[in-house]
Structure 1
């Protein structure tokens, strides 16, 4: 039976958040949902927010520039700068808050995301290790409601996967 429970662990000593979540879809489809902007835009933001991609270049050295758009039209911009990509297995990127042109806001937290995709047959386990340079950045993200937001976004991914599975 598919159990979509989110395993969310904060390690303040190591300045990391570990997220583990299974999805009821095969690994190539889950990979696409994390790496193609037309799919990311459908689930990456917690409802009622929407993700909107301005540009995406999914390759080592590439960048995804996107906004989280609120119900009143407010925009919060961010980037993921991709460092390492192993197709269908893992990608590592640096995430940062930015302006609409992709200029990094150094007053806001930055993090490194190591995202691994584990093949479990008809299901896929996604393991995210999110690292911060200092504890204050980690605590800021938690206070901003990151756990609740990522939980809602992943529930949106569940819904998307059901709608696009062949």
Structure 2
């Protein structure tokens, strides 16, 4: 994980984040100065950012919104105060309302980014300056330390070549905290095709099967927000197991980039999870990221113990075959 430390200093009224990144400063500079790159990590998992304005000049402004799985928006703006090419820049960071005006009830922060060469790559230092101890405490209580850490820990996959980053790794499962798990898989194929394969019932029946020996018996999808879906699987003759299925509701749909759904095991009183799917395309391949939020640690551990990752890898392998055809 890139983040090595996040510290607060009530005397100097600062919060400092330090991250070590396995990439040269020029590549890290791109990640922090190109909106399409910033959108991949500016915001913790589950709250990705969209930059609607990015005037990277002294006196210019950037405007962004982070969107929760339920569609809630947290909006912010930067005013660029100084820019030192490839070594750092400084902004005035403010919260804004839906009308685009600065929210005077929340503190604005002067933030300085510094990018330094190291023996293994780069060091990113982010120092946030607050106007008072109360403003610092308010931001910390809002979860700034945890949120910044989770956001910046996504830097590795942003600065890496996707093919090299995912080569030979298949489906990867990362436990982020007690209730969040992140699944990633690089898919050979365009984002549009991967999105279609997740929303076209005829295509889904060809790949979303889990381990060999199973068939999909039900695939009903309404991908619109508020729409319902239902999937079911049954074992082929000679395969052990009992028929099972899932149902849920679409909470957010932003084709072909992001879809958020609930997931409930049909016919049980098990609590639902929230599944946040996002797709990012680069050089003809698509990075699929699935962020799963469980109701508690016990449910998380129970699901992981079923061999979920292996079943997903079998399905994603089939998906690549379907896309190639």
2:129 matched to 1:131?
yes
1:85 offset after TM fit, Å? 0.1
Normalised by the length of structure 1, the TM-score is: 0.93
Bigger relative contact order, structure 1 or 2, given CA contacts below 8 A and separation 6+? 1
Structure 1: tracts of 5 or more residues without a match: none
1:123-162 matches, cutoff 5 A:
123-162=121-160
1:6 offset after TM fit, Å? 2.2
Greater Rg over alpha carbons, structure: 2
Within 2, Cα distance between the matches of 1:65 and 1:41? Answer: 12
More displaced, 94-103 or 28-37? 94-103
Query: How many residue pairs end up in the alignment?
Result: 164
Partner of 1:92: 90
RMSD in angstroms over aligned alpha carbons?
1.7
Partner of 1:53: 51
2:99 matched to 1:106?
no
Q: Which consecutive segments of 4 or more residues in structure 1 shift more than 4 A?
A: none
Within 1, Cα distance between the matches of 2:162 and 2:32? Answer: 14
1:159 offset after TM fit, Å? 1.9
Partner of 2:320: none
Deviations 1:101-142 (A, max 9, x none): 531101101100011110125411011111000111110110
Partner of 1:24: 22
1:55-94 matches, cutoff 5 A:
55-94=53-92
Structure 2: tracts of 5 or more residues without a match: 165-325
Within 1, Cα distance between the matches of 2:55 and 2:99? Answer: 15
Within 1, Cα distance between the matches of 2:97 and 2:109? Answer: 17
SS at match of 1:93: strand
Within 1, Cα distance between the matches of 2:161 and 2:46? Answer: 19
1:83 offset after TM fit, Å? 0.6
Aligned CA distance change for structure 1 residues 31 and 82 (closer, same or farther; 3 Å) = same
1:165 offset after TM fit, Å? 8.9
Aligned CA distance change for structure 1 residues 105 and 53 (closer, same or farther; 3 Å) = same
